[in-house]
Structure 1
Amino acid sequence: MFTSIDYLKLGNERQRRAYDAIQKVGIMDNLAIYTPILCGTLPIGIDVDGSDLDIIMEVHNFSRFREQVKDLYSHLDNYRLKEVIIRDVPVVKANFLFEGYEFELFGQPQPVFEQNAYLHMIIEDQLIKCIPTLRDQVISLKQRGYKTEPAFCKVLGLDESDPYLSLINYGRNICLI
């Protein structure tokens, strides 16, 4: 699920525009060896104005990835690249603006289908399908400044101290992942 961005062509206006931008910038083809997957709010239709396009990838050779991304995208507006540690895992993040979208390329040495961004999206998508009122409640909280996972936790009554972990655990407990 979500292994191709073709579903965006049949989506809402923002999803169709995002599809065009992603195709034009060429990430899915240019960085195909890293198994890029679009994650986050836009694929599941809970994006709000200003939501970015998060593209996760499996990256083991950070220096090679940095050079490729720099060669391909450093000419774009607000380009920046950094390396950080998130939950004891090294990460390379590149951000830039293109066609009205902020892109975030997120690489870590883990298969994309095991990365938290992908797992969160799958859990959120399933929850939205199971609980009809959830989409509007989450979008409302996001419009008031909540990040996505904290919004889900608030609506579902989950522990908000670490909403990212709470959502993963919830998904595992009810067999969504």
Structure 2
Amino acid sequence: MIDFTNLEYLKEGTPRQKDAYSILNELNIFENLEPYSPILAGTIPINIDLPDSDLDIICYVSELNIFYQLIIYRYGQNDQFNIRSKIIDNIETVIANFNYKDFSIEIFGQNIPTTQQNAYKHMMAEYMILNEKGEEFRQQVLYLKSTGYKTEPAFAKLLDLEGDPYLSLLQIHDSQIDI
């Protein structure tokens, strides 16, 4: 089982994972955001990314205003920088996006421990499913994504899950049921 809370796994990964590791270190993102328990979530850590997939960094933030200002200070000079606050599932959230070299980066902060945030739960459910289903399944996910499917709907289609694919994957994570 990969420890996704430690970026070291990226150094031995795919070429894109190695590039992600370099970029995150160049920007000192994990050092700068260390008080916020950052985790790289999404598709790159579990090798189901497409060339335009972004680096999704989730953070546990209790003081959103301070976090908001820190993100502007540290990353506001980057290309296409944008930051906003919004309510997601009744939770105040800060989302910043910017481009750096060949990557789009999203920094996401909520007052929820990172390992309890939906992005992490989705990734862990997908990681568990990929480990169980194997390389052919991973290739099918990548194919669906290349035709326009988002990640969670691609999993739901391949697994014949009913209803909201995002909620279905959260249920899989929370129940740790076998697929």
Equivalent in 134, 149, 153 of residue 152 of structure 2 = 149
Output the CA distance in 2 between the equivalents of 1:33 and 1:124. Answer: 27
The residue correspondences of 1:1-177 to structure 2 (distance < 5 A) are 1-132=3-134, 133-159=136-162, 161-175=163-177
Q: How much does 1:172 deviate?
A: 3.0
Deviation readout 1:84-140 (Å, 9 max, x if unpaired): 111111110000001210000000000001001101111111110100122011110
2:152 is paired with a residue whose SS is: helix
Instruction: Give RMSD over aligned pairs.
Output: 1.1
Output the CA distance in 1 between the equivalents of 2:46 and 2:95. Answer: 22
Deviation readout 1:8-58 (Å, 9 max, x if unpaired): 110111110110000001110011000000000000000011000000000
Q: What letter corresponds to residue 74 of structure 1 in structure 2?
A: G
Output the CA distance in 2 between the equivalents of 1:88 and 1:27. Answer: 27
2:98 is paired with a residue whose SS is: strand
Output the CA distance in 2 between the equivalents of 1:105 and 1:49. Answer: 19
1:2 is paired with a residue whose SS is: coil
2:120 is paired with a residue whose SS is: helix
Output the CA distance in 2 between the equivalents of 1:80 and 1:31. Answer: 18
**TM-score after normalising by structure 1:** 0.95
- Runs of 4+ in structure 1 displaced over 4 angstroms? none
1:44 is paired with a residue whose SS is: coil
Q: How many residues align?
A: 175
Q: Which runs of 5+ in 1 are unaligned?
A: none
Output the CA distance in 2 between the equivalents of 1:94 and 1:171. Answer: 26
